[in-house]
Structure 1
């Protein structure tokens, strides 16, 4: 009978990785339905972010934004950057990228365990959370459903 130690250890490692990923997603999804924390409002009111806002958020009620938490050494974050840039062009002043390294306390408050983590906020409530690489089409679809009153800027080439 062949020795099954190596396959058993590999199988256990794969299960642990899958369990870890499931826990990260489950913990992130637990934010759905919650109001954005004061720390996020303060991050938006900081000079770096506030300089880019046409209308700074005074309170949560008018906050319809997409917030992406990323890390400088994250490969998935680098792959998501063009997607977020495209969405930022379609929805000016509504897409923000925050580094978990610079905003550690905020990431801990929001219980962010993996990057990229994207929060879809409507009227100051977290309505959806995306963890990992998310296709552009899915994000645009969710934005249209969550923000029906906000018209995206048409960026198609002129004919």
Structure 2
């Protein structure tokens, strides 16, 4: 449908969201990875969530899978992604779509900071990211399952 004026757009029950980087609240979700929830799923009726992250050199995530789809956009740096059995070298501007159920993880093998945006469809996973702060790995495994996430293996080695 092509519209010629804003009044022709379908009515929504939520408002546009502007999330300025300079006003974002940041937390250290895991050692050397800092996150900011840019759009919380409660702001968009659970449709999606948007999380920005900074990962320092050597940072990585465990191999895991979700019950939701996820899209990563690499803003700076060159993280290495594992998607199923395949290792993918990325760079600034890379976009990666991870379908629900796909085992995946990433690692910053470089000497520079990595910055990414992750968008999850539907949303809700952002609440897990807040709750894992400072928790032991075994606690994270149990908590993750409540959010449709299964931790499969420890983080990938460099």
The two structures share one fold, judged by TM-score above 0.5: no
Greater fraction strand: 2
TM-score by length of 1: 0.31
Structure index of larger Rg: 1
More helix by share: 1
If the length of structure 2 is used for normalisation, what is the TM-score? 0.31
